[in-house]
Amino acid sequence: MEAVGLKELVKEMSSLGDIIVVAPSTQQSGKGKSVTYTQPVRIQAKEKFLDDMIIFVRQSEITRIR
């Protein structure tokens, strides 16, 4: 998890209970209407943060639909 702001948000919110963050493994600006349907979606354990495992979702091929 590279986004400093997201890490800070998780730190603050973790006192309220269990937190689940779903985020892409890389920067994805401008891909709000993209979908992956020809390649498998990969799930990768990346690092530990606040004693919990961080899991990233990686998409290999993106196809834009309208």
The position carrying tokens 């269990």 is: 18
Domain coordinates of the chain in residue numbers?
4-64
Contacts 24+ apart (CB under 8 A), 36-44: 36/60, 36/61, 36/62, 36/63, 37/63, 38/63
Joined tokens for residue 48: 């530990």
d(CA 13, CA 19): 7
* Res. 8: pLDDT tops 80: yes
pLDDT tens, position by position, 24-66: 666 767 766 666 667 666 666 666 666 665 655 555 444 444 3
